[in-house]
Structure 1
Amino acid sequence: MLDQLNSTAFTAFGQHVIWSDMVGNLAGLAALALGWRRSVATWPVQLLSGLILVAAYASAQLGGGVGKQLLVITVALWGWRQWRVGSRASGDGQITVRFATWTERGVLAAGAALGTLAVGGLFTAFPDLSWNPWPDAYIFVGTLVAMVAQARGLVEFWIAWLLVDLVGVPLAFDSGLPFSGLVYLVYLGLVLWGMRDWWLRSRSAPSRPALEGAAA
């Protein structure tokens, strides 16, 4: 099955696009669109995307990418639970969104910085894990920060995804995963659109966040 997933789907402009790269990223794109719609379905689709993309990053010998997808799978299970509770509390089946407090922003920023240093140091010490350690570590940790913020219903999750995309696009092309690079470009458009939508919705959201009782 892995051989089939990592076989070439098509070739364009001299780049070989493998099935796992294409299907996994299309699922990820669908998950992001569902997240913009505040649909709980974003999490099972994200889970499926992570499972498929494990094979894609393994074929490119990007340990950080593989680890990131395993982390995506874990956080997707947690986020799924969070949003199911939050959607029931909202009454309309959709999650209530809000801006993070300054304390939450500080925790997310510090976690991103310290996490990148720790993971980047690990990849540098063990070069077999990743051929491009620091960008790989940045994307690994940035994805975790974005998904945690999304699970909490924070508008800032879109900003985190935007910062991940800025590094993810060139890294994907350099790693021989052109479809990932193209999808990252589409992500940029969806991120800007989704950020505007969540920003506007947060202005009319209740002051008590829907996920507060599900944060544990």
Structure 2
Amino acid sequence: MNVLEWLFDAQLVIGDQTILWREVIGNGFGIASAIGGMRRKIWAWPVGIVGNALLFTVFLGAVFGTPNPVNLLGQASRQIMFIAVSVYGWVRWSQTRRRVDVATGMSVAVQPRWAGARIRVALVVAMVVGTAILTPIFTALGSFEPVWADAWIFVGSLLATWGMAKGWTEFWLIWVAVDIVGVPLLLSAGYYASAILFIFYGAFTLWGFFTWVKVQRGQTQALPA
């Protein structure tokens, strides 16, 4: 059996629960990508893409015949969205990878900045309207209930990833909103490994937010008077 076959079939049994190693490893890549994003390292994007590819197969449980035959269409389709937006972020950060942080003197791929009041309002509106539009679509396709939560996670993930590519510090807070809805949905659908890691993500995204805020303050203080 080669590595790919093992990765696709390997399972972790805990009591009466069966967890796919793909789910654990895919979320591990996601955590690594988040750490890279907090440190503003360009490798965060390709690492995240690997995790997205693995999780795509996990969240289509009924399609791939996994022990948990539940389709979370929003979760699965957002992995494709992640890959597309990550390519954009990868290219964007590559164009500025030689930028020097004025506070630390280190080379970074992006300088954190506030999106501004107008963009914040637009993000909130996009979150609500996007969820409202996708909910009936995901319902028709047979996504797991409550479908609005699946749609919320998809839209929030899109906006957060786009915000990270732009260097907007607010993108961390969008991830918090995604995690708050994502944890109970994943638990009810039986994706326990992802639910546990979403709890970790929630704490980590708050840390990432305050880290970027600190970086911004350092940039301001380092600027000549």
The one of 65, 74, 77 equivalent to 2:84 is 74
Structure 2 SS opposite 1:136: helix
Unpaired runs of 5+ residues, structure 1, are 207-216
Deviation per residue, 1:7-52 (Å, 9 max, x gap): 3521224321102211110100110111111111110011111111
Aligned pair count reads 205
Report 1:27-46 matches (<5 A): 27-46=29-48
Question: TM-score if structure 1 supplies the norm length?
Answer: 0.88
Other-structure match for 2:19: 17
The partner residue of 2:180 within 166, 174, 182 is: 166
Letter in 2 for 1:121: P
Q: Closer, same or farther in 2 for the Cα pair 1:130/1:6, shift >3 Å? A: farther
Answer 1 or 2: higher relative contact order, Cα 8 Å, separation at least 6: 1
Identical amino acids, percent of aligned pairs = 30
**Correspondence for 1:86:** 96
**Alignment check: 8 A CA contact 1:38 1:95 kept:** yes
| Amino acid in the other structure paired with 2:39 | R
AA at the equivalent of 2:194:
S
Q: For 1:11, what is the secondary structure of its paired residue?
A: strand
Mapped partners of 2:92, 2:173: distance in 1:
20
The match for 2:52 is: 50
Map Cα deviations across residues 47-71 of structure 1 (whole Å, 9 max, x no partner): 1111111000011311111111110
1:169 aligned partner, one-letter code: V
Q: Which amino acid aligns with 1:57?
A: F
Q: State TM-score, norm by structure 2.
A: 0.84
Query: In 1, Cα distance between the equivalents of 2:23 and 2:123?
Result: 29
- Picking from 115, 121, 129, the partner of 1:100 is 115
- Contact 1:2-1:55 at 8 Å conserved across structures: no
Q: What is the RMSD computed on CA atoms of the aligned residues?
A: 1.9
Secondary structure of 2:142's aligned partner = helix
Q: 1:211 aligns to what?
A: none
Q: Give the greater-gyration-radius structure (CA).
A: 2
What are the ranges of 5 or more consecutive residues in structure 2 without an aligned counterpart? 62-69, 102-106, 221-225
